[in-house]
Amino acid sequence: MNYELVLVRFGEIVIKGRNRNRFETMLLTQIRMALKSFDKLEFVRSYARVYIHLNGESYERVAERLKDIFGIMSFSPVIGSGLDLGEIRDNSLQLIRHLSVSPQTFKVSVNRGWKQYPHNSIEMNHLVGSHVLRNTPGLKVDVRRPEIELKVDIQKDMAYIYCEVVKGAGGFPLGMNGKAMLLLSGGIDSPVAGWMAMRKGLKIEAVHFHSYPFTSEQAKDKVVTLAQRLAYYGGKIKLHLVPFTEVQTKLAKSGHDSLIITLMRRSMLRIAERLAEQNDALAIVTGDSLGQVASQTLGSMNVIGRACSLPLLRPLVMMDKQDIIEHAAQIDTFETSILPFEDCCTLFVPKSPAINPNLNIVEKVEAMMGSELERLIDEAVQGTEVVILKNGADTEASAQAQERKEDAWF
Ligand code: ATP
Ligand code: MG
């Protein structure tokens, strides 16, 4: 089927007033950015929706990209029709005929946005419906629970006909709700947490702690790959690579074996908080999920969380591991996450990590290390390297657009 338009519906309908306008303006900018390699597209905005005129671009390829843009509630491929009754009837029939699965039941819902149209919407429902029925053997009308709802929206210039509604990613346009630092390990959970934070409108910068040379170059590459994947959704990701070896070695010598993970996590948060301040981020996002490991019991989270004063956001806290894994597969980070390279935390894993660490003791142990620990934390912050990851898909899409231009040339 050759669709002429895509109708994109914006999400979070509860947003009102000025925020609504900001939401729509930001989302439209992001849609344009994400689709910038399709040069023929035209965008027409109307309240809480935008019409994309395809002008010959492939609907399937545009749809593939639209599915991953945060803030879009749903979208539909649309046939643009002239206002002549015969034309509307024929286009409606074509649409039903070309559906990938032939429906058993349907109903027609005509909306007459342009009130001067000679037939009212009830008449139109009959006029269009009867034509489709007459020409589609086996099809029946079911007004209560139709398999397909054929929508015809009559406006002054043209009629918009569609029936498919594709669910969008939902949430808020990226960055609408500010910026946060994502603690990105090489594991399954933190990339999913990052995706969820972005979906809620947070711009993300990633922070990864490595213990090179104890952890390998490949472990670092794996995190770069994950951040790159997040950049597909987030446009551009700044990845901070923090040298954690010295801090970790110092903590390991404290003699409190069972507290080492607690101590490490607290130092990570202190470093992340400093990086957040430097980069104007107002929260820290982690992939913690309640009860998953010793450092994620309520007792541990409490003692660890007190090391920093920025809000700690844990999008996965109530989720089951299986659901997190499915999510990781959907956003295409799972395969990378399960590569075997070790994380800095696995280097010093004690036999029995504390599941209920005592805040007083933890604070005393840190106080004993005093300014030495502070100095190592300073050095880690100063030694942090930054890698900027751009949206690889855009590069790929613009390469394809270039190819198409070259094809057209020949
Ligand atoms: P993940 O699958 O994300 O690694 P996990 O189940 O292995 O999670 P932990 O290793 O306990 O859990 O880590 C909990 C959270 O702490 C991670 O989700 C991540 O946000 C953060 N974290 C752990 N290790 C690192 C690291 N090396 N660099 C940055 N953040 C880390
Ligand atoms: Mg981990």
pLDDT in tens, 29-49: 999 999 999 999 999 988 788
Looking at residue 344, its pLDDT comes to 65
Is residue 301 within 8 Å of 286, Cβ to Cβ?
A: no
Instruction: Return the ligand number nearest the Cα of 344.
Output: 1
The CA 338 to ligand 2 mean position distance, Å, reads 11
Q: How confident is the model at residue 182 (pLDDT cuts 50, 70, 90)?
A: very high
**C-alpha distance across the termini of the chain, in Å:** 27
The mean-pLDDT minimum among 22-26, 147-151, 162-166 falls in 22-26
**Atom 10 (ligand 1) nearest CA:** 345
- Alpha-carbon Rg of the chain, whole angstroms? 27
Domain(s) labelled CATH 3.40.50.620 in the chain stretch across: 179-401
Helix (H, G, I), strand (E, B) or coil at 79: strand
Nearest CA to ligand 1 atom 25: 185
The atom of ligand 1 lying closest to the CA of 346 is 10
- The predicted-structure confidence for 282-326, as pLDDT tens digits, reads as follows 999 999 999 887 778 999 999 999 999 999 999 999 999 999 999
What is the location of CATH 3.30.2130.30 in the chain?
5-167
Please compute the mean of the pLDDT values over residues 331-358 and round it to a whole number.
82
Mean pLDDT of the region 245-249 = 95
CA-nearest of 385, 388, 386, 389 to 231 is 389
**Residue 408 confidence class, pLDDT cut points 50, 70, 90:** very low
Judged by its nearest atom, the ligand closest to the C-alpha of residue 295 is 1
Which CATH superfamily hosts domain 179-401? HUPs (3.40.50.620)
Q: Tell me which residue of 306, 339, 138 sits closest to 225, measured CA to CA.
A: 339
Q: What is the pLDDT of residue 291?
A: 86
Q: Which atom of ligand 1 is nearest to the CA of 190?
A: 3
- Please name the residues in contact with 407: beta carbons below 8 A apart, sequence gap of 6 or more: none
Which structure tokens are listed for 16? Answer: 């009102």
Is 184 annotated as contributing to ligand binding?
yes
What is the model's pLDDT at position 20? 84
d(CA 64, CA 69): 10
Distance (angstroms) between ligand 1 centre and the Cα of 314 equals: 11
Residue of 190, 271, 316 best suited for mutating to test ligand 1, as the one with most atoms within 8 Å of CB: 190
Is residue 148's pLDDT more than 60?
Answer: yes
208 marked ligand binding residue? yes
What confidence category does residue 346 fall into, taking pLDDT thresholds of 50, 70 and 90?
low
Distance of alpha carbon 387 from alpha carbon 102, whole angstroms = 50
Atom of ligand 1 nearest to the CA of 285: 20
CA of 276 to the centre of ligand 2 (A): 21
Task: Output the average pLDDT for the chain.
Answer: 91
Which is the closest atom of ligand 1 to the Cα of 186? 4
- Alpha carbons within 13 angstroms on the beta-carbon side of residue 34 total 26
Residue 404 has pLDDT above 60, yes or no: no
Pocket perturbation via mutation, ligand 1, pick of 184, 189, 270, 284 by most ligand atoms within 8 A of CB: 189
User: If you measure from the C-alpha of residue 262 to the centroid of ligand 2, how many angstroms do you get, rounded to a whole number?
Assistant: 14
For helices 392-409 and 217-234, what crossing angle results, to 10°?
70
Q: Among 183, 185, 263, 384, name the best residue to mutate to test ligand 1's pocket (greatest count of ligand atoms within 8 A of Cβ).
A: 185
131 annotated ligand binder = no
For ligand 1, residues with CB inside 6 Å are 183-185, 187-190, 207-209, 286-288, 292-293, 295-296, 343-345
Is residue 296 part of an annotated ligand binding site?
yes
Q: What is the pLDDT of residue 410?
A: 29
CA of 185 to the centre of ligand 2 (A): 5
Instruction: Tell which atom from ligand 1 comes closest to the C-alpha of 289.
Output: 6
Cα(150)–Cα(145) distance, integer angstroms: 13
Q: Which residue lies with its CA nearest to atom 23 of ligand 1?
A: 185
Domain 5-167 has CATH 3.30.2130.30: yes
The reply, when asked if residue 287 is annotated as ligand binding, is yes
